[in-house]
Structure 1
Amino acid sequence: MAEWELRKLRILRTLRERGTVTATAEALHMTPSAVSQQLTNLAAQLGVPLLEAQGRRVRLTDAARLVLAHTEAVFEQLERADAALAAYARGEAGEVRVGAFPTAVPALVVPAVRALRETSPQVTVRVREAEAAEAYDLLAAGDVDLALSLAAEAPSAADPRFTHVPLLADPLDVALPPDHPLARADRLTLTDLAAESWIFGGSGPWSDITRRACEAAGFSPHQGHSASGWTAILAMVEAGMGVALVPRMAAGRGAGVVLRELGADRPVRHVVAAVRKGAGEAPAVDRVLRALRRTAGRAA
């Protein structure tokens, strides 16, 4: 029987995810030479080649992909074992590290933490703010136990590493200057704003969401100004420099602007929670997930 070493298998899996030996070494806090040596040793132990040269890079062989296909179940079972040990050793107590994108922290995470103080005071939640796509990197690396992200930024549902839990559909409202001619209109749609100057980031998820929403309404938005933080975006809207789409979860920051619901073409963004496969069975993680789902239900 072949000799299996989990540490080396984790290195191989990280190489598949990161694509290069250098990126794998950075993710695992190793040197590139150490990564190469560990994978060479693993190939010798298993008796099959795991890497082959592709120009100046390497790629996984079919044998390596076969090995990983079978070991994903092992990693999942180990997560379950960790969860069972946590339940045995700590009972209902535990620490849960949550990575969440900026608007989800005040709208979902903070209310959930407050509720947990009443129902599960021995569960400690540690919050780490991260952009929607970064949350999955943190989750995969084991730096957080639970990630809040946007469905549009999530890996494929077929990704064997994660379990996704839908939380809510967050409507997008439009922020208008107080003296805008449409600020008091009976009805408002995105198409009514096709000629406006829009404010959104130059890249990233919010840029994509704004562009997709406007294009679905039949026009390409003219970007008058570029900003990624809500403080800057809403300050420019208040000053009459343009209009912007604002998630309902961030609406509390728009005191100086008029926030209007959109009509039939109102866009939404879908917020999801994710855990590593099997880890959601840890009692503390399960309690945090339940609190988040209750909070999201009230927000919806």
Structure 2
Amino acid sequence: MAEWEIRKLRILRTLREKGTVTATAEALRMTPSAVSQQLTNLSAQLGVELLQAHGRRVRLTDAARLVLRHAEAVFEQLERADAELTAYLRGEAGEVRVGAFSTAVPALVVPAVRALRATHPGVSVRVREAEAGEAYDLLACGEVDLALSLAAHAPGAADPAFTRVPLLADPLDVALPPDHPLAAAAGLRLADLAAEAWIFGGSGPWSDITRAACEAAGFSPHQGHSAAGWTAILAMVEAGMGVALVPRTAAVRRDGVVMRELSTDRPRRHVVAAVRRGARDAPAVARMLDALRTTADRLSEQNT
């Protein structure tokens, strides 16, 4: 196979446009002898004559025109590559793989993707739902570029492998059945529900968050039922089987459930994003982080 060199092909194309070696040299800021030498080398590499003497000028051979016909497709593709690379460097193109826990996907990730699609359609986002702790395993092994989780399950701020970005302090409300004696009570406190049967997972982040919130209010919650999914938890609350703490971003309206904001205590779960150390400056990742922060800020304003 012949050896093709882009620089020499550009010289040949410029010669076709300018008509003389001297004009070609001036356009490319080369000497005429350097232009001639490069074209002689290209001819030898391709094994064909590229130029014919025509008086005091040179003329392209049929072989040269054939070479340039194919070279134009190469130049076009290189222009596209250059444009895409420029867009990538500006954060206008690229792919970001996001790992996020279940309730963060509809509340934070999807709105952020929509916003990013409107402003930077060249940036694509691939989402992978994962448990809070698993998201960081995926980040550590390079399967995602950005992980969303709860602060309690995120790497420590001093971890040299990751950079943490705080996103949202998500308020926790109490889910009660409508006929509960405290469903309409003024100034509801978490401690008022100390004797209730609580519904939360047997283990994992939500179990930890519920227990920590109740203990901070002065009591240890009695776990009446164990469930991890919000559909199951709220269905049991609706049936009068117990009460539950529910993140405001995860709450789904149900006619048979009353969501009450706490007047004191006001527990929150803290949502953070993390990237591998140094990756925060990658343009596409930075764009996604910006979109997530904007979405989180909007949610915070709605929750105040």
Calculate the TM-score normalised by the size of structure 1: 0.70
Task: Kindly provide the CA deviation profile for residues 106-154 of structure 1, in whole angstroms up to 9, marking residues without a partner as x.
Answer: 0000100111111011110110001111111000000000001111111
Q: How much is the aligned-residue C-alpha RMSD, in angstroms?
A: 1.4
**Residue of structure 1 equivalent to 2:271:** 271
The amino acid that maps onto 1:90 is Y
CA–CA distance in structure 1, aligned partners of residues 271 and 255 of structure 2: 24
Task: Kindly provide the CA deviation profile for residues 256-276 of structure 1, in whole angstroms up to 9, marking residues without a partner as x.
Answer: 310000122111111111000
Task: Kindly provide the CA deviation profile for residues 62-121 of structure 1, in whole angstroms up to 9, marking residues without a partner as x.
Answer: xxxxxxxxxxxxxxxxxxxxxxxx965834201100000111000000100111111011
* Greater C-alpha radius of gyration: 2
**Residue of structure 2 equivalent to 1:90:** 88
CA–CA distance in structure 1, aligned partners of residues 294 and 101 of structure 2: 18
Equivalent positions of 1:1-300 (< 5 A) are 90-91=88-89, 92-300=92-300
Q: Classify 1:256/1:94 alpha carbon distance in 2 versus 1 (closer, same or farther; 3 Å).
A: farther
CA–CA distance in structure 2, aligned partners of residues 87 and 268 of structure 1: 42
Q: Secondary structure at the match of 2:133?
A: helix
The amino acid that maps onto 1:146 is L
- How far is the alpha carbon of 1:179 from its aligned partner? 1.1
Calculate the TM-score normalised by the size of structure 2: 0.69
Gapped regions of structure 1 (runs ≥ 5): 1-85
CA–CA distance in structure 2, aligned partners of residues 124 and 151 of structure 1: 26
Task: Give the conservation status (yes or no) of the 8 Å contact 1:87–1:282.
Answer: no
CA–CA distance in structure 1, aligned partners of residues 112 and 157 of structure 2: 26
Q: Classify 1:276/1:87 alpha carbon distance in 2 versus 1 (closer, same or farther; 3 Å).
A: farther
Gapped regions of structure 2 (runs ≥ 5): 1-83
Task: Give the conservation status (yes or no) of the 8 Å contact 1:197–1:222.
Answer: yes
Task: Give the conservation status (yes or no) of the 8 Å contact 2:88–2:283.
Answer: no
- How far is the alpha carbon of 1:155 from its aligned partner? 1.7
Task: Give the conservation status (yes or no) of the 8 Å contact 2:93–2:284.
Answer: yes
**Residue of structure 1 equivalent to 2:22:** none
Task: Give the conservation status (yes or no) of the 8 Å contact 2:88–2:284.
Answer: no
Identity %: 80
Q: Secondary structure at the match of 2:125?
A: strand
CA–CA distance in structure 2, aligned partners of residues 293 and 114 of structure 1: 14
CA–CA distance in structure 1, aligned partners of residues 218 and 102 of structure 2: 29
CA–CA distance in structure 2, aligned partners of residues 185 and 249 of structure 1: 23
